[in-house]
Amino acid sequence: MQSQVPSHSDEIKVSFPLEHVMLLTFNRPKSLNAMTPTMDSDIDTILKWFDNEPSLWVVVITGEGRAFCAGADLLAWNQRAHSDKTPESELKDVELHVNGFGSISRRSSSSKPMIAAVNGGAYGGGIEILLNCDIVIASEDATLALPEVKRGVVAIMGDLLVLLDIKCIFSSSQVGANS
């Protein structure tokens, strides 16, 4: 590699299991890898570095433990929603999501493939991440759902337009990997 992996929190693990392959692992198994603002920022930084690292050709994205990603960390989301907003904090929120949920869904400038390795559950924003990868490989016990509709939240950051014809967007029901 021509350069070092950027520093990041322990909520993300980066490894290189094979030549030319980067493995990016969500590392919050106790919370089913729910996405925090720190994770989102780390992913954005790491993927920008990956895009510019000529020795890496593909990234595989997965989750530690029994889930791929449970979507947004609702505690962090609720804290941001009820905090005093300033123009600076509003701008930071917009900048945080410029590449969509998990900094992946609107990453159109990358010419390198992204593969989602889905283990266990992918919920809410976790589905958005896998929908915006070039290839998805799911374990037989993988489940996909958009439970945010039960909370009155619309999947608008990138997956709504992709999923208009899938029943889970309106019913919050799970879809098995074999469905």
Q: Which residues are catalytic?
A: 128, 148
Helices (H), 35-179: 37-52, 74-81, 87-96, 125-131, 168-171
What's the rounded Cα separation, in Å, for the pair 155 and 23?
27
Helices (H), the chain: 37-52, 74-81, 87-96, 125-131, 168-171
Do residues 61 and 114 touch, judged by C-beta distance below 8 A? yes
What's the rounded Cα separation, in Å, for the pair 39 and 162?
24
Do residues 139 and 118 touch, judged by C-beta distance below 8 A? yes
Cβ-Cβ contacts under 8 Å for 40 (sequence gap 6 or more): 96, 97, 101, 102, 103
